[in-house]
Structure 1
Amino acid sequence: MREVLQSKIHKAYVTQADLGYIGSITIDEELLELVDLWPGQKVLIVSNTSGARLETYVIKGERGSGEICVNGAAAHLVKKGDEIIIISFTFSDSPVTPKQILVNEKNQFVQFL
């Protein structure tokens, strides 16, 4: 059994960072569906802006909003306007074809990678 890449949202931009919220990352529902992420699923957040890396879980955001909100303590590491990569992994006994997308500066789907 190996831990392998399941999905990735590449070059997303943080639209809000909310220290007062209790943990997690809120992601536009449309993007969640494109990469098969579930609310409550663990994700790795990598900031292309600061180099910070952190783990949290997904909250479903409003469909079509482009929302990417980093909540709770993670907002100390990732700020509004930062460019990030959102990654999930899965365990598998065989190779997995990950669902990977590129988004634009408004967090709208551009293409599959």
Structure 2
Amino acid sequence: MLTSKIHRATVTQADLHYVGSVTIDEDLLDAAGLLPGEQVHIVDIDNGARLVTYTIPGPRGSGIIGINGAAARLVHVGDLVIIIGYGQMEDAEARSFRPRIVHVDRGNRVTGLGHDPAEAPDPVVPGAEDLLRGDERHVPA
């Protein structure tokens, strides 16, 4: 089950020579209910790359989203990513479970908390209300 999501975070560093993982501001880990060492999936909005890694805490209030190790070949500084946590639970718990959804601004500061993984801030990207996809604009006829 989806347990948490940090939506549209901005990658602030990428270190190919680090031993692996994703460094996440500890405030964001807390907001999302993610633990150090927890497995997460990362989806790069800019290029479509997807990967699985684990979390390590970064300094509180720093806004750090650091892609470490080989993943730095897939995800780059400035890319927007979705960081997703999943968990296993019994059927009864899964039916009533509410994931923790964290919305952030471009500085990776929390702007909203919710439970609906399909909910997005309005507009998703300020000033880009006419975007159909991240790389295409709708031009009215």
Provide the TM-score with structure 2 as the length reference.
Answer: 0.77
Provide the TM-score with structure 1 as the length reference.
Answer: 0.95
Aligned ranges for residues 80-99 of structure 1 at < 5 Å?
80-93=77-90, 94=93, 95=95, 96-99=97-100
Larger deviation, residues 89-98 vs 61-70: 89-98
**1:80 to partner: Cα distance:** 0.3
Aligned ranges for residues 9-28 of structure 1 at < 5 Å?
9-28=6-25
5+ residue gaps, structure 1: none
Greater RCO (Cα-Cα under 8 Å, separation 6 or more):
1
Which is richer in strand? 1
Distance 2:55 2:32 in 1: 12
How many correspondences in the alignment?
110
Question: 2:138 maps to which residue?
Answer: none
Q: Partner letter of residue 61 of structure 2? A: G
Distance 1:112 1:62 in 2: 21
Distance 2:15 2:21 in 1: 10
5+ residue gaps, structure 2: 115-141
**1:49 to partner: Cα distance:** 0.4
Q: Partner letter of residue 30 of structure 1? A: D
Q: Partner letter of residue 35 of structure 1? A: A
Q: Partner letter of residue 72 of structure 1? A: G
Distance 2:68 2:102 in 1: 22
Q: Partner letter of residue 47 of structure 1? A: D
Q: Structure 2 residue aligned with 1:78, among 75, 78, 93?
A: 75
Question: 1:5 maps to which residue?
Answer: 2
Aligned residues with identical type, % of pairs = 50
**1:112 to partner: Cα distance:** 1.1
Give every structure 1 segment of 4 or more consecutive aligned residues whose post-TM-superposition deviation is greater than 3 Å: none
